[in-house]
Chain A
């Protein structure tokens, strides 16, 4: 495979802290290997900035394997960049051409305030999970998997929902800054399993209440979240959440 170095112009959002006003700053990076990931390109840029005695750009990252949900970045108008079903850390520089200008912004949502540069506070998601996104009974040691028969289709649908890594791309992509795809993935993955059944009503009610409290918008089923989700969480999970909510509303005490 041919090794090719490309030169890029980066327009990156810089913001000192939550309360300060941010602005775009333009940087040039040269001879970037196309085998690099997008984050590695940022590492190169940050080393360059350190050598120039400037403050490096703050950005979130952890596993760099596409599974932790830590990386964010709104790249050229799309969360996690141009590739489908992909996280920023798995976006490689072969997605770009020599001479490109790339605009990098943080997730924009009232519920995700910017902490610094490209880092936003996503603890709202943690609080939504705490409001009910788990099974609260003490289950003791793991029982034999085959002792509790589960329909294969339900198990698969539940697993597909559990793929959500909580990165917040759905909120970033949504015109309403709604967290419904995230919330519906969490509600669906437990609602489809017998373990999640006893608390299904209180779970959906409490989690929706917490989502509203955090200041996310309401869902209008545009599908922008599904189109950008790195784990391809289906929009049908939102319809399932709606059903769970409606049934809880009609039948709970």
Chain B
């Protein structure tokens, strides 16, 4: 079997979703860890130093290209799978649908992912785009990202959208985390128990910490 065949069958497409999903989960750990420096209460000194390391260093910037590639692959493949799967029911759907066999967020990964995508567009527009534009999209002078956060998160509407985006991310991860490991073939009961528990923990903690960032700025919890 060719590599193309491996990754274009229905199982192969899920493998792509799974590998890119795990990669994005790893990215979230870095992102949430670095952004948590805002709570150092030093007027953004530690946070800006961290942001400078990531933004003005060739290694993270090369990884950033990989991040966008993984993200775009995850989004396009996910949307295509959602559309393809929806068409498999045939021309007539069920009159009565049963919902107790599966969790609503497991059935709504396409919808949750789309909400996250819309949030992501706003998020990149708020921070990534002005910062990289200032750098000339190469290694260059960055804007004060801490000050930018203070400015962006003074708007209540933006804060609400960010919190909703984080909520969608939480439910997306509640299914996606453990599903990704099932897709790469983890069927050992003990490991499945670990990944399921870890998945729910990750899905609650990481989006919660992210959501606390705009809230902290808006309600003045940070000095």
A221 at the binding interface (Cβ < 8 Å): yes
Pick from B95, B96, B97, B187: contact of A243, CB below 8 A.
B187
Q: Which residues of A are interface residues toward B (Cβ below 8 A)?
A: 11, 22, 24, 74, 76-78, 103, 105, 108-111, 113, 173, 175-178, 205, 208-209, 211-212, 215-228, 235-250, 252
B92 at the binding interface (Cβ < 8 Å): yes
4 tightest Cβ-Cβ pairs between the two chains A and B: A243-B185, A227-B101, A239-B187, A77-B96
CB distance from B180 to the nearest CB of A (A): 9
Size of the B side of the interface (Cβ < 8 Å), in residues, is 45
A interface footprint on B103-129 (CB within 8 Å = 1, 0 otherwise)? 100110100000000000000000000
B73 at the binding interface (Cβ < 8 Å): no
B131 at the binding interface (Cβ < 8 Å): no
Q: Which residue of B lies closest to A227 (CB)?
A: B101
**Those of B46-101 within 8 Å (CB) of chain A:** 81, 84-90, 92-98, 100-101
B186 touches A239 (CB 8 A): yes
> B interface, by DSSP: helix, strand, loop or mixed?
helix
B90 touches A105 (CB 8 A): no
CB distance from B111 to the nearest CB of A (A): 12
Q: Roughly how many angstroms separate A242 CA and B98 CA in the complex, as a whole number? A: 27
CB distance from B158 to the nearest CB of A (A): 32
CB distance from B16 to the nearest CB of A (A): 11
Q: Roughly how many angstroms separate A131 CA and B178 CA in the complex, as a whole number? A: 30
Q: Roughly how many angstroms separate A237 CA and B107 CA in the complex, as a whole number? A: 20
Using known A-B contacts A108-B94, A242-B11, A249-B6, determine if residue A177 contacts B89 with beta carbons closer than 8 Å: yes
B32 at the binding interface (Cβ < 8 Å): no
CB distance from A211 to the nearest CB of B (A): 7
B9 touches A212 (CB 8 A): yes
A248 touches B101 (CB 8 A): no
B11 touches A105 (CB 8 A): no
A227 touches B1 (CB 8 A): no
Residues of A within 8 A of B100 (CB): 227
Most buried by A among B6, B93, B95: B95
Q: Which residue of A lies closest to B191 (CB)?
A: A239
Q: Roughly how many angstroms separate A223 CA and B106 CA in the complex, as a whole number? A: 9
Using known A-B contacts A110-B90, A241-B11, A248-B1, determine if residue A77 contacts B85 with beta carbons closer than 8 Å: no
Pick from A11, A109, A223: contact of B101, CB below 8 A.
A223
Residues of B within 8 A of A78 (CB): 98, 101
Q: Roughly how many angstroms separate A221 CA and B105 CA in the complex, as a whole number? A: 11
CB distance from B185 to the nearest CB of A (A): 3
A interface footprint on B190-217 (CB within 8 Å = 1, 0 otherwise)? 0010000000000000000000000000
Q: List, sorted by A's number, 12 A–B pairs whose CB atoms are closer than 8 Å.
A: A22-B92, A78-B101, A173-B101, A216-B88, A218-B11, A219-B14, A222-B103, A236-B187, A237-B187, A238-B182, A245-B15, A246-B15
B10 touches A212 (CB 8 A): yes
B20 at the binding interface (Cβ < 8 Å): no
Pick from B93, B178, B179: contact of A108, CB below 8 A.
B93
B10 touches A77 (CB 8 A): no
CB distance from A138 to the nearest CB of B (A): 26
Q: Which residue of B lies closest to A183 (CB)?
A: B11
Residues of A within 8 A of B179 (CB): 220-221
B135 at the binding interface (Cβ < 8 Å): no
Q: Which residue of B lies closest to A226 (CB)?
A: B101
Residues of A within 8 A of B175 (CB): 221-222
B1 touches A249 (CB 8 A): yes
